[in-house]
């Protein structure tokens, strides 16, 4: 077992640092560099990553490193990847996974650690269309905040959590069986729910079990294994928060907390949450109706099955409360989208407001505010900072 991490932004540094410090030396943690310059700089620093938390700097030593596009010499080609953590910006993920796809197999596990939604769907549609032969996937919601002061030095500024869930298995294995209890004090999920040594398909799921075990060890980042349905709700709520904070701070050039003092921002938030509620409700309605239809086609009696109501967690009121709560907690922060704009870099707007816009188009639900914010952020990135009058 070994873990590869691609993406050495603040979050990539946090996860690489944490894994190397908690895993045994016998488990290699390898960072993948997208440029030769990055690899050489890392080598000059003796493959060391530093993380500062509460003024205390800790080091992670002994990391290995590789180049994304290695030498064409077959004798120097790197081997297969058993566990890959992708901590890239959303728009960089697809091309990098496409490059690494030959090193991944159905026995591998891929952890997606991005903002926004739609990356997983994009990857499986473009790279891993056969769901029975694609790697295992773990999706995450990360609320740990960090920023870089040097290429391999990050400040862990906001203590949050990493919630993760396993994408349902094409072969029908129930990874979430431990969550299936009405008793909140029930047994909960276990690694043995994924696979055991006596499992005939142990090799297929071994990397998934070991990756989940490794994630649960990184206590500095507050990991939590969630059922996939619960994780989806978390991701949808986080998406709405980001659809409010990120574009507005990027357009206005302000810290998160400035939005709390603007009545106009509150009006936009209310409209965003109403749009999100309508889109999510229609999604549940259509997907449930399709599932009921499939069950009926199999001869199963569906007369007692009805479309469930929208969970309160995805109601406009609850989404608005969450957005205000997160904005208050992070009021001193500079959003990642504003940082991208300040650097003249691409933003993740297509995977945040753009995702909600596309979902609205798919289900014929208007998402005019999300569309407007998407257009404004894209317009903002087209004007270089030195051209602003």
Digit-by-digit pLDDT tens for the chain (389 residues) are 899 999 999 999 999 999 999 999 999 999 999 999 999 999 999 999 999 999 999 999 999 999 998 766 555 667 899 999 999 999 999 999 999 999 999 999 999 999 899 999 999 999 999 988 999 999 999 999 888 888 899 999 888 999 999 999 988 899 999 887 544 455 679 999 999 999 999 999 999 999 999 999 999 999 999 999 999 999 999 999 999 999 999 999 999 999 998 999 999 999 999 999 999 999 999 988 887 888 788 888 777 887 888 999 999 999 999 999 999 999 988 899 999 999 888 999 999 999 999 999 999 999 999 999 999 999 999 886 656 55
- Residue 225 β-bridge partners: 164
Domain boundaries, the chain: 3-226, 236-382
- At 299 the pLDDT is 81
314-342 in b/e form (b: 16+ CB < 10 A) is bbbebbbebbbebbeebeebbbbbbbbbe
Q: How many other CB atoms are found less than 10 A from the CB of residue 137?
A: 21
Q: How many residues in the chain?
A: 389
Number of DSSP helices (H) and strands (E) in the chain, helices first: 11, 12
Listed in order, strand segments (DSSP E) in 194-237 are 223-225
Per residue in 42-100, pLDDT (tens digit) is 999 999 999 999 999 999 999 999 999 876 655 566 789 999 999 999 999 999 999 99
- At 75 the pLDDT is 54
Cα angle 206, 175, 309; round to 5: 155
Give the closest residue to 385 by CA, choosing from 344, 346, 335, 345.
344
Strands 136-142 and 162-166, by their bridges, are: antiparallel
- At 15 the pLDDT is 97
CATH fold of 236-382 reads 1.10.1040
Task: Give the tokens for residue 281.
Answer: 């409700």
CA–CA separation, 48 vs 55, rounded Å?
A: 19
DSSP annotation string for 336-389: HHHHHHHHT---SGGGTHHHHHHHHHHTT---HHHHHHHHHHHHHHTS-GGG--
Which bin fits 62, alpha (ψ -120 to 50), beta or left (φ > 0)? Answer: left
How far apart, in Å, are the Cα atoms of 229 and each of 106, 144, 176, 263?
Answer: 23, 22, 9, 34
Q: How many other CB atoms are found less than 10 A from the CB of residue 86?
A: 24
Strands 83-86 and 153-158, by their bridges, are: unpaired
Edge-first strand order for the sheet with 145-150 is: 56-60, 49-53, 153-158, 145-150
CA–CA separation, 264 vs 252, rounded Å?
A: 12
CATH number, domain 3-226: 3.40.50.720
CA–CA separation, 164 vs 267, rounded Å?
A: 32
**Backbone torsions φ then ψ of 30, nearest 5 degrees:** -115, 130
**Backbone torsions φ then ψ of 138, nearest 5 degrees:** -120, 130
Note whether 268 and 244 are within 8 A (CB): yes
- At 113 the pLDDT is 95
Cα angle 223, 225, 231; round to 5: 105
């Amino acid at each position: 077992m070994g873990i590869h991490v691609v993406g050495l932004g603040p979050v990539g540094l946090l996860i690489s640092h944490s894994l190397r410090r908690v895993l045994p030396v016998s488990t290699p943690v390898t960072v993948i560099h997208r440029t030769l310059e990055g690899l050489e700089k890392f080598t000059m620093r003796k493959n060391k990553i530093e993380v500062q938390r509460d003024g205390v700097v800790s080091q992670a030593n002994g990391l290995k490193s590789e180049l994304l596009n290695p030498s064409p010499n077959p004798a120097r080609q790197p081997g297969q990847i058993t566990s890959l953590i992708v901590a890239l910006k959303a728009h960089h993920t697809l091309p990098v996974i496409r490059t690494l796809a030959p090193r991944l197999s159905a026995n591998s596990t891929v952890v997606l650690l991005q903002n926004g939604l739609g990356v997983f769907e994009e990857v499986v549609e473009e790279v891993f269309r056969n769901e029975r032969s694609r790697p295992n996937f773990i999706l995450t919601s990360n609320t740990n905040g960090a920023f870089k002061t040097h290429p391999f030095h990050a400040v862990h500024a906001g203590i949050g959590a990493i919630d993760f869930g396993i994408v349902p298995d094409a072969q029908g294995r129930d990874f979430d069986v431990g969550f299936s209890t009405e008793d909140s004090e029930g047994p909960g999920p276990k690694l043995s729910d994924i696979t055991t040594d006596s499992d005939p398909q142990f090799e297929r799921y071994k990397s998934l079990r070991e990756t989940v075990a490794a994630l649960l060890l990184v206590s500095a980042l507050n990991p939590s294994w969630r059922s996939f349905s619960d994780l989806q709700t978390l991701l949808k709520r986080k998406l709405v928060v980001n659809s409010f904070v990120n574009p507005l701070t990027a357009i206005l050039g302000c810290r998160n907390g400035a939005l709390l003092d603007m009545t106009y921002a509150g009006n936009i938030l209310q409209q965003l949450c109403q749009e999100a509620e309508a889109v999510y409700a229609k999604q549940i309605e259509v997907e449930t109706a399709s599932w009921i239809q499939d069950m009926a086609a199999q001869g199963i009696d569906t007369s007692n099955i009805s479309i469930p109501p929208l969970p309160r967690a995805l109601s406009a009121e609850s989404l608005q409360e969450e957005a205000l709560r997160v904005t208050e907690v992070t009021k001193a922060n500079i959003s990642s989208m504003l940082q991208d704009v300040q650097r003249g870099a691409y933003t993740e707007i297509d995977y945040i407001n753009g995702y909600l816009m596309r979902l609205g188009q798919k289900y014929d639900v208007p998402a005019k505010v999300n569309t407007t914010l998407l257009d404004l952020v894209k317009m903002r990135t087209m004007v270089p900072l030195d051209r602003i009058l």
